[in-house]
């Protein structure tokens, strides 16, 4: 799955993965991260998610990363903000108010560019990546965020019945990626009424990842 695949989906407005409402699990479980007002929240592969406006309204600072320029232009229009653009190597920084978005390849984002973050909200990143990229992704965000705690939302279903996103990510895979650095807590596992792309049964699974005390 190449960058062009996602860019074409945004160009063609083939964005069924975009939710027109705030994700209910964010509203329900975000306090489990115990962020204080003014905390800095990292949203990887953020698209134009409505969740960013929700976080801003809660007094958070938001930093995201997204491949699609058009998605981020739409995001700032929705937020009613006019961003300042600054080029940093392969990435372009869009910044306005309490929101900063890096546009480009997430693997080009460094700790220095990202800056300190207090928590990670991963609603659509891990499930958007094919299996061969997920290990690289989880290692990368753990590194650049210095193992900031996470609220992670996944889905689980029979992947053999659907070839594509959102990918099924099992509990074992979450454990394999993260257990060395994080303590993992399963917050909820709920049946998805209409399944995933028509595949049933399917469940939405929410994890809280807390940094282990070394």
CATH (domain of 198) = 3.40.50.150
Residue 116 pLDDT greater than 70, yes or no: yes
- Total domains in the fold of the chain: 1
Nearest-CA neighbor of 167 among 51, 17, 3? 17
182-191 vs 84-88, strand pairing mode: unpaired
Q: What is the pLDDT of residues 152-163, one digit of tens each?
A: 999 999 999 998
Identify whether 109 is part of a domain: yes
pLDDT tens digits along 176-204: 999 999 999 999 999 999 999 999 999 99
As a three-state string, the secondary structure of 46-82 is CCCCCHHHHHHHCCCEEEEEECCHHHHHHHHHHHCCC
Instruction: Say yes or no to pLDDT of 206 above 80.
Output: yes
Q: What domain range is 127 assigned to?
A: 3-8+23-211
User: Is position 86 within any domain?
Assistant: yes
Give me the pLDDT at residue 84, please: 98
5 compared with 142, residue with greater pLDDT: 142
- The answer to whether residue 14 is domain-embedded is no
Please report, rounded to a whole number, the percentage of residues in the chain having pLDDT higher than 70: 93
What is the number of other CB atoms lying within 10 angstroms of the CB of residue 213? 5
Q: At what angle do helices 131-144 and 171-178 cross, to 10 degrees?
A: 40
User: Residues annotated as binding site for S-adenosyl-L-methionine?
Assistant: 10, 45, 66, 123
Q: Is residue 178 situated within a structural domain?
A: yes
Q: Answer yes or no: is 59 within a domain.
A: yes
Note whether residue 171 is domain-resident: yes
Residue 147 lies in a domain: yes
Residue with tokens 């981020």: 72
pTM of the model: 0.94
Q: Is residue 15 a part of any domain in this protein?
A: no
Q: Annotated binding site, which residues?
A: 10, 45, 66, 123
């Amino acid at each position: 799955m190449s960058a062009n695949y996602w860019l074409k989906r945004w160009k063609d407005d083939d964005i069924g993965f975009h939710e027109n409402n705030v994700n209910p699990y964010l509203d329900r479980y975000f306090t489990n991260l115990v962020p204080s007002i003014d905390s800095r929240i990292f949203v990887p592969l953020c698209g134009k998610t409505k969740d960013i406006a929700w976080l801003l309204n809660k007094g958070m600072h938001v930093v995201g990363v997204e491949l699609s320029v058009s998605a981020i232009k739409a995001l700032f229009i929705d937020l009613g903000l006019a961003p300042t653009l600054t080029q940093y190597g392969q990435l372009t920084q869009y910044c306005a108010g309490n929101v900063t978005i890096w546009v480009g390849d997430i693997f080009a984002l460094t700790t220095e560019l990202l800056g300190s973050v207090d928590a990670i909200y991963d609603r659509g990143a891990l499930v958007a990546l094919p299996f061969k990229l997920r290990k690289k992704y989880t290692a990368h965000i753990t590194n650049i965020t210095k193992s900031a705690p996470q609220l992670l939302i996944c889905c689980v279903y029979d992947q053999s019945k659907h070839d594509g996103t959102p990918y099924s990510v099992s509990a074992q895979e979450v454990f394999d990626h993260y257990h060395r650095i994080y303590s993992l807590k399963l917050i909820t596992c709920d049946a998805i009424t209409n399944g995933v792309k028509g595949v049933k049964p399917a469940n939405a699974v929410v994890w809280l990842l807390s940094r282990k005390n070394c």
